Amino acid sequence: MHPAELHNRVVHFAEAARLGRLAALDALQQVESEVIEYVRFAGRMAAARDAQVTANAEGKVMADPAITSARAARLVEPRTGTQRARLLDYIVTAPAGVTDFEAERDLRMLPSSLRPRRTELQAGGYVVDSGRTRQHRGSQWSIWLPTAEANAWYTRRMGGAA
C-alpha cells in the first residue's frame, strides 16, 4: 500500500464519521486497523530490501562473457552480499560521501569487486552520485552518497541506533 492510499483510507473513514454514516469510535478503530496493516506492510518491504543488500548473488558479467569471466562471476557468489553490506556500511558512515578510490583503499577491495557492488547498490536505490568529485592521483572521482533508504537500512541493522 502506498502512503497516499493509506491517507485516502483515513480521510474516507473520517468523512464517513463526519457525515454520520459511521460512529466516531468505529471510524477510529478502522483507521487504527489500516495504520497497523500499513506499518506491517512497510516492515515486510523494509525486510525484503534489507535482504537485497546482504543476499549473495552471482557476480555480474557482460552479455557475451569469456569462459574465464563467467567462471569468476560464479565463484564470487558467496561473497557478494558480504561485500555489498560492507560497502554500504562504509558509505552510510562516511560524513562527506565516498569515492570508489577511497572505498577500494579503505575496504581493501579490488576495483573489479567494488564497482559491481556499488553499481548494485545504486540500482537498488541505496546510493546516488552526488554530482561532485574529489581528486585522487590526478583523476576526478565521483562522490557517492547514501539515500534515505540506505540510512534506514543502516539504522535497522544497528538495532535502531543511528
pTM above threshold 0.85:
no
Average pLDDT of 83-103? 94
| pLDDT computed for residue 94 by the predictor | 94
| pLDDT computed for residue 58 by the predictor | 62
Average pLDDT of 89-95? 94
Tell me the pLDDT tens digit for each residue of 2-42: 778 888 888 888 888 888 988 988 888 888 888 888 888 88
Average pLDDT of 137-158? 92
- Where residue 78 falls among pLDDT bands split at 50, 70, 90? very low
Contacts of 162 (CB under 8 A, 6+ apart): 151, 154, 155
Average pLDDT of 122-131? 93
| pLDDT computed for residue 73 by the predictor | 64
